[in-house]
Amino acid sequence: MNMMKMMKQAASLQKNMKKKQAQLAKTEVQFSAGGGMVTAVATCDMKVKSIKISPEAIDSSNVKTLEKLVLTAVDGALKSAQETMSKEMGELTSGMGLPAGMDLPF
């Protein structure tokens, strides 16, 4: 492969990655904990957009449980966002012959 072709491919990949990142910034994922008592929504650029707490989850005598449910929901939403982002970005780089496990963007 000649150098000019590689540079064109790299420029095209960069343009496509920026476009995909903008799409992912608008893509929302959610994760629920406690059987749906707490739900966190995040975008695939790793921003938490909302947290919904069911009234049944609110018990002033058991705040620790609610805190754990919120953390679990947020963690799950962010993991889902990361997985979605990795999958979508991986589709852009497939066929480029990059080593397995090489995450982009760098």
| Residue 5, in any domain of the structure | no
The more confident residue out of 101 and 41 is 41
| Residue 53, in any domain of the structure | yes
| Axis crossing angle, helix 3-26 with helix 63-93, rounded to the nearest 10 | 150
The CA-to-CA distance between both ends of the chain, in Å, stands at 23
| Residue 18, in any domain of the structure | no
Domain count, the chain: 1
Place of tokens 């989850």: 57
What pLDDT sits at residue 106? Answer: 43
Q: Are 39 and 20 in contact (CB under 8 A)?
A: no
pLDDT tens digits, 18-64: 998 899 999 999 999 999 999 999 999 999 999 999 999 998 899 99
pLDDT tens digits, 58-88: 988 999 999 999 999 999 999 999 999 989 8
**Domain CATH for 73:** 3.30.1310.10
User: Residue 100 has what DSSP assignment?
Assistant: T
CA torsion 47→50→51→55, rounded to 10°?
180
Domain containing 66 equals 27-85
pTM of the model: 0.76
| Residue 39, in any domain of the structure | yes
| Residue 10, in any domain of the structure | no
